[in-house]
Amino acid sequence: MSAIESVKIVCTRGLVLAPVAALLLSMALLLLGIGLLGTLLVVRAGQEGISSEIIGAMMSAYFVGYAVGALFLPRVIVSVGHVRTFAGFAAIASMTALLHVASVEPFAWVLLRILTGLAYAGMILATESWLNAHAVPSTRGQLLSIFGVVSMAAWALGQALLNVAAPEGVALFLIVSLLISAAVVPITLLPSRAPVEVEQEPVPFRDLLSISPLATSGVFLAGLAIGGFWGMGPNFAQRVGLDVGGISAFMAAVLGGTLVLQWPLGWISDRLPRNLIIAAAALGAALAAIGISLAAEAPLPVLLAVGALFGGFGIPIYSLCVALANDDLSPGRLLGTARGLLLLNGLGTAAGPLVGGLVMNVAGPGGLFLSAAFLLAVLAVAAILRPQIRRSRAAMSARCPHTPLITLSLDAMLQQQQGGSSRETPKQA
């Protein structure tokens, strides 16, 4: 049996998650805390009588820090590595969670939200570049979707934790800090395989646009639309008359819908043109957003159902766009591309709560989702009008993740077999 046949037999067994299992567990614990904190702050601010505009500004501050982190933190990953980056910023996020109870003042919370957003950007950059390093084009959509499923499951469970104690107390903030601190344990103490060190190339925005105009515009529009929900979703639920249990149920329903549809959308996008899947997801999310605005006064089960559809179609759009942009990149450009896409998504997400808060004051609570529907409809049209370029490496991709050096070696071996070349293939790492 040839080496090529052996590789194919091993790789057709499906996705190998062992190299990233500890990373996924760490992200689950992290997002349990981060998800609880975001909703907790909005509910607590509402109880304190803070206006929707100021709450929107506070939530936008988080994404401002997120965008700034995406701009400057890739060099930290290159300097100290993925594991140390994740652990360091998790410690910062844990400390800022506790500092929120020291002063319940909008200005202080704005500063803390900026710092939390910056820390989360560092952790998500490390995570996404790690995952992309272990993926090849035929599995990238699925691997990122599995990451999305784990993330949304943790975020949804975090909403349920809102019922553990009263929002006006200290206990929930302590729980947030404990969960974020616990996220450091798996990635530092469990066996894992960090990406092989590859020299990273800068990716200017003009190159990002040439790599994939659809992915570039998609992450921004999706950030603007979904960011409004992240920042103002709890305030929407509060203003339509839901109690704390109803607020957590609504947020969990949106995230629960993501759990159901995230992986199927990623799986289909690995087999059909990704632009069509992005268009379908954006259109489905737009229709669901209109449904939420119309169901604001409807019975809670109806609101939860359309909320689940909104999350199921809308939240995976970012992962689909990332997969689209990374299909034909060399390993050295993965981190630079992740930085650019994360920055654009962060800018959109930062503006989302602020725009959402303003629209809600003009058009009522449902205006939050009407504006999201418009943005998602624009994205759907853009995805349909811009056909996806044929994936040049799709035919020679294996069905299992690899570190970059192994992936390059496998690609070279498959090229040699397909082209009948007699050139010597690189040694596997």
| Position 169, amino acid | G
Tokens of 167: 């929002």
In a domain, 366, yes or no: yes
The pLDDT value recorded for residue 17 is 56
- With respect to residue 5, please indicate whether it lies within any of the assigned structural domains: no
Length of the chain: 429
Eight-state DSSP code of residue 388: P
Tokens of 303: 């609101």
Residue numbers of the domain that contains 260: 17-194+202-399
- Residue by residue, DSSP assigns 107-131 as HHHHHHHHHHHHHHHHHHHHHHHHH
pLDDT for residue 314 is more than 80:
yes
101 within 8 A of 173, measured Cβ to Cβ: yes
Q: Is residue 426 part of a domain?
A: no
In sequence order, which residues have a C-beta less than 8 Å from that of residue 132 and are 6 or more positions away? 140, 144, 322, 326, 334, 338
Kindly report, residue by residue over 236-288, the tens digit of the pLDDT: 888 888 887 888 788 888 888 888 888 888 888 878 888 899 999 999 999 99
Residue 278: the pLDDT is 92
Please state the rounded mean pLDDT for residues 353-370: 85
pLDDT averaged over the chain?
A: 76
Q: What is the pLDDT of residue 138?
A: 61
Give the model confidence (pLDDT) of 288-302 as tens digits: 999 998 887 788 889
More confident of the two residues 148 and 108: 108
Domain count for the chain: 1
Give percent of the chain with pLDDT exceeding 90: 15
Largest Cα separation within the chain, whole Å, is 73
Take residue 93 and report the two structure tokens written for it: 């996020």
Among 426, 236, 202, which Cα is nearest to 332's? 202
pTM value is: 0.65
> Does the pLDDT of residue 159 top 80, yes or no?
no
With respect to residue 142, please indicate whether it lies within any of the assigned structural domains: yes
- Segment 17-40, tens digit of pLDDT: 555 778 888 888 988 888 888 888
- Residue 425 inside a domain? The answer is no
Looking at residue 405, its pLDDT comes to: 30
Confidence grade of residue 424 (pLDDT, cut at 50, 70, 90): very low
Judge whether 297 lies within some domain.
yes
Residue with tokens 């992005």: 278
Q: Output the domain CATH number for residue 39.
A: 1.20.1250.20
Q: Which residues contact 14 (CB under 8 A, 6 or more apart)?
A: 399, 400
| Residue 280 maps to a domain | yes
- Mark 39-59 as b/e (b = at least 16 C-beta within 10 Å): bbbbbbbbeeebebeebbbbb
pLDDT at 372: 92
Q: Name the helix (H) or strand (E) containing 327.
A: none
Closest Cα partner for 210 from 337, 345, 117, 26? 337
How far is residue 156 from each of residues 150, 162, 196, 280, 399, measured CA to CA in Å? 10, 11, 33, 24, 30
In a domain, 261, yes or no: yes
* More confident of the two residues 419 and 48: 48
Q: Please state which of the ranges 15-19, 123-127, 381-385, 400-404 shows the lowest mean pLDDT.
A: 400-404
